[in-house]
Amino acid sequence: MIKLFLNTTDTFLSNSVKKIFNKVENKYKSSNQSVDIYQELKNFEENPLTCITSCDTKFESSIKAQVKIMIGIFFVAVPLLGFSLVTYILNFEYSYAFILTFVVAMLAASRLDEIASRYVTTRLLVPLKSQS
């Protein structure tokens, strides 16, 4: 059961990170702004969740803000609503919903470090179009 949850979470996080990077890259390409993708990938790999306002580039802050929003929605808000509903139905204390939500959010955040590393590794294996 836990392995299924981790695989599902990993797949969702991987796909979301790919989509976020592609979306931001396309936005920058369409506005003819140059981006050092190699450096941005390295920055993302080192700290996938830290810094939004004090990042080196707007590209990096945009990526990290969207990743945090995605985690906030899918790994905090949705589980909190679900666990709150379950605790209401079962007539438990609502503190259990918050504790379980915290556990889910921490698991997702810890998995994101591994996902970021894997994404950067696979992305660097593919020739970077913007550096040609």
Residue 127 or residue 27, greater confidence: 27
What confidence tens digit (pLDDT) does each residue in 64-73 have? 889 889 999 9
Q: What share of the chain is helix, strand, coil (3-state, %, to 5)?
A: 80, 0, 20
Q: Which residues of 22-60 are buried (b: 16+ CB within 10 A; e: fewer)?
A: eebbeebeeeeeebebeebbebbbeebeeeeeebeeebb
| Whole-angstrom distance, CA of residue 114 vs CA of residue 93 | 34
What confidence tens digit (pLDDT) does each residue in 4-56 have? 877 888 899 899 999 998 999 899 889 888 888 888 888 888 887 776 566 67
Computed on alpha carbons and rounded to an integer, the radius of gyration of the chain in Å comes to 17
What confidence tens digit (pLDDT) does each residue in 81-97 have? 999 999 999 999 999 99
